[in-house]
Amino acid sequence: MIKQIQWSYLLMGMSFFTLLSCTDHKSGKNSEITVIDSSSQISITHKVTLPQAHIGDLEIDTMLLDSYTPLPQNIRNFYLEARDVFYENPNANFTNPLILESAQNNNLALMGGPLLGKLDKNGLTIWLRPSTSKSLEIKVNKSNSTEYKSYLKNSPEPGIEQRIEITGLAADTEYNYAIYTNENKIAGGSFKTPPDTEQKGIFRLTFGSDFHKIGLHNPNLINTILKRKPQAMMLLGDNAVDDRDNKVNMHRSDYLLRDISKPWIQLAANIPLYSCWDDHDYFNNDKAGIPEGFNTTDRDALREIWFQNWNNPNFEGSGIYFNTVIGPVEVIMLDSRSCRENSKRGEYGSYLGIEQLNWLIERLKKSKSPFKLISSGTMWSDYISNGKDSWGTWDTLAREEIFKLIESEKIPGVIFLSGDRHGARGFTIPRSTGFEFYEFEAGTLGGVPGPAGMAKDTTHQLFGYDGTEVIAFGEFTFDTKSKDTFVTFRLVDEFGKVLEELKLPYERLVP
Ligand SMILES: [Fe+2]
């Protein structure tokens, strides 16, 4: 049971992460753009390639541990011992006694987390996976105050993920938090609540795709994301698990590899994350629906593992799709893998499944948020790979229905996001009405290869980088505070260089 304690006036007397200060500032196109001192760059020592990540054997996964800086010995021991248990036992999960014993022997109170999620104007949810049943206490204070609120979780079950709701906070406010067991601080971080949807303000959200395990261990990339202070981040697929088919034990092993990464821990502890999957964190390359040789039990197991290891808002349907309102933005993340109907490829409803498609249509009609970000694991437009494994060869009818709905109902503020085709790209999607949609893809977070950055026909392409040219992420800064509402898109590389910047006045997003 989670119990909330009233504000206390005690000094917290602890130091929180100070990740958010910058070392060097230069004026660019925009005064808030930061250029990082290149001396802060950390060199890669063990480069893991994409084909290696797909294999993910012991040697390759171990190489990722030290790809930039060596891991502390106790964390390494724990990972190797737990990975061995997962590898040997197809049904192993985090409650396995050998895994719990290893965590305790290596002095690890947490086997995963804190992972922030479900941010709203009054709080968020903290996900974590403890190794013991010791009670957890989370103290939360405003960053400019020593008063704190306390939230308790008594006797958590070891190895089972916990979700602790932090409620009763103020909108548009910076907070620090620290997690204790028996008065010992075991983790901490900071976050900022969004402005109320009605309230005028600035809200920054980051997004990207295709970590492919590799990028989760990149301190340059993750430090840069943290320094730019986004209030939330969307991960559009191929995140942590790579090509594990229906081997749920190895899905768990890959989540463990994520959760012991130091850069990942800092990202997850300081920025609320929202995620959807693409093919590689579902079954395997280009796999969708129920792939040949697998069954609905396999699919359900993968959905369950997904749910256990992320901290997304609750799903409303049978897939992993969801919507949530964060400040001025309604985030709609689609499940563009597990609801596909393979035997009906090309027919209406085959890509999202009828249930999800109808849900999306309803969400769009009902949304009151000024902005809507709609993510698809694969591309909305067909410019790069001619619809390969995406809307263009699966369901152009439903795509057209969605586009038409937005135009006919004059639904404002919609921006499309996508991943899958490794690279960072921006497009417009022209309509016969003269209106244009915008689609942005920001990758790859893992620096992995893919198709050419620019399409053969560049008429509707705003920019393009291939997957290995840059390691970059996307960023939206929504401004509802200025006289005229607008959003600025930026593409930022792992060292903080702003590669692309596009200011979109709100009128451009109104059909
Ligand atoms: Fe990918």
Least confident of 261-270, 405-414, 478-487: 478-487
The answer to whether residue 40 scores a pLDDT higher than 80 is no
**Which residues have CB atoms below 5 A from the ion given as ligand 1?**
210, 238
Question: Which residues, in sequence order, are bridge partners of residue 488?
Answer: 477, 503
> What pLDDT was estimated at residue 39?
53
236 Cα to the center of ligand 1, angstroms: 10
Q: What pLDDT is recorded for position 345? A: 97
CA of 52 to the centre of ligand 1 (A): 13
Q: DSSP states of 275-337 as a string?
A: E---GGGSSSTT--SS-TT--HHHHHHHHHHHHHH--PPPP-SSSS-EEEEETTEEEEE---S
pLDDT at 4 exceeding the cut of 80: no
Q: What pLDDT is recorded for position 120?
A: 94
* 419 Cα–ligand 1 center, Å: 8
Q: How far is the CA of 442 from the centre of ligand 1 (A)?
A: 12
CA 423–ligand 1 middle distance (angstroms):
9
Going from the Cα of 279 to the center of ligand 1, the distance in angstroms, rounded, reads 8
Q: How far is the CA of 473 from the centre of ligand 1 (A)?
A: 14
Distance 280 CA to ligand 1 centre (A): 7
Give the residue from 171, 267, 187, 280 showing the smallest Cα distance to 219. Answer: 267
What was the pLDDT predicted at 199? 82
Q: Of 141-150, 314-323, 461-470, where does mean pLDDT reach its minimum?
A: 314-323
Give tens-digit pLDDT for 170-182. 999 999 999 999 8
What are the pLDDT digits (tens) for 334-345? 999 999 999 999
Ligand 1 midpoint to CA 6 (Å): 46
- Ligand 1 centroid to Cα of residue 435, in Å, is 31
Superfamily of 2-13+109-191 according to CATH? Immunoglobulins (2.60.40.10)
Judged against a pLDDT cut of 50, whether residue 1 lies above it is answered with: no
pLDDT, average across residues 475-487: 94
Q: Which two tokens stand for residue 210?
A: 């295709």
> What architecture is the 203-509 domain classified under in CATH?
4-Layer Sandwich (3.60)
C-alpha of residue 258 to centroid of ligand 1, in Å? 16
Cα–ligand 1 centroid distance for 379 (angstroms): 12
For the record, the structure tokens of 61 come out as 């996964």
d(C-alpha 222, C-alpha 158), whole Å: 29
Indicate the pairing of strand 184-192 with strand 371-376: unpaired
Alpha carbon of 334 to ligand 1 centroid (Å): 16
Least confident of 313-317, 329-333, 471-475: 313-317
d(CA 187, CA 202): 28
Q: For residue 223, report the distance from its CA to the centre of ligand 1, in Å.
A: 22
Distance 345 CA to ligand 1 centre (A): 21
Q: Which segment of 32-41, 60-69, 155-164 scores lowest on mean pLDDT?
A: 32-41
Tell whether the model's pLDDT for residue 501 goes beyond 80: yes
The chain-wide mean pLDDT, for the chain, equals 91
CA of 470 to the centre of ligand 1 (A): 15
Cα-to-centroid distance, 302 and ligand 1 (Å): 18
Distance 451 CA to ligand 1 centre (A): 11
Give the Å distance between the CA of 103 and the centre of ligand 1.
Answer: 31
Query: How much distance in Å is there from the Cα of 188 to the middle of ligand 1?
Result: 31
Q: What's the 449 CA to ligand 1 centre distance in angstroms?
A: 9
Q: What is the pTM of this model?
A: 0.92
Helix, strand or coil for residue 433?
coil
pLDDT digits (tens, 9 = 90+) for 359-395: 999 999 999 999 999 999 999 999 999 999 999 999 9
Q: How far is the CA of 420 from the centre of ligand 1 (A)?
A: 5
Do the beta carbons of residue 116 and residue 271 sit within 8 Å? yes
Nearest to 210 by CA among 304, 266, 270, 285: 285
257's CB contacts (< 8 A; 6+ apart) are 61, 64, 65, 79, 83, 213, 216, 240
Name 334's Cβ contacts closer than 8 Å, sequence gap at least 6.
276, 321, 352, 356, 360, 374, 375, 376, 377
Model confidence at 147: pLDDT above 80: yes
Res 241: pLDDT: 98
Strand extents, DSSP E, 86-197:
110-120, 123-130, 136-142, 148-153, 162-166, 174-181, 184-192
Q: What is the DSSP letter of 143?
A: T
Report the alpha-carbon distance of residue 474 to residue 425 in Å, rounded.
10
Helix-helix angle 248-259:262-270, to 10 degrees: 80
Distance from the alpha carbon of residue 380 to the mean position of ligand 1, in angstroms: 16
Q: Dump the DSSP string for 449-477.
A: --S-SS-SS-TTEEEEEETTT--EEEEEE
490 phi, psi to nearest 5 deg? -135, 145
| Domain ranges for the chain | 2-13+109-191, 203-509
Q: How far is the CA of 456 from the centre of ligand 1 (A)?
A: 21
pLDDT at 244: 98
**pLDDT at residue 311, as a whole number:** 98
CA distance 114 to 259: 9
Distance 3 CA to ligand 1 centre (A): 41
How far away, in angstroms, is 212 Cα from ligand 1 center?
6
Calculate how far, in angstroms, residue 417's C-alpha sits from the geometric centre of ligand 1.
15
Look at 22-26, 76-80, 241-245, 475-479 and tell me which has the smallest mean pLDDT: 22-26
Q: Binning pLDDT at 50, 70 and 90, where does residue 69 land?
A: confident
What string of DSSP letters covers 170-229?
A: PTT-EEEEEEEETTEEEEEEEEEPPPPSSS--EEEEEEE---TTGGGG-HHHHHHHHHT-
Contact 113, 160 (CB under 8 A): no
**Are residues 346 and 388 in contact, defined by beta-carbon separation less than 8 angstroms?**
no
Residue 317 — very low, low, confident or very high, per pLDDT cuts 50/70/90? confident
State the distance from the centre of ligand 1 to the C-alpha of 10, rounded, in angstroms: 48
CA of 88 to the centre of ligand 1 (A): 27
Identity of the residue numbered 30: N
- The share of the chain scoring above pLDDT 70, in percent, equals 92
CA of 79 to the centre of ligand 1 (A): 25
Whether residue 415 contacts residue 372, with contact meaning beta carbons closer than 8 Å, is answered with: yes
Whether the per-residue pLDDT at 243 is higher than 50: the answer is: yes
Nearest-10 crossing angle of helices 73-88, 97-105: 170
Mean pLDDT (whole number) for 210-235: 97
Query: Mean of the pLDDT values across residues 77-96?
Result: 98
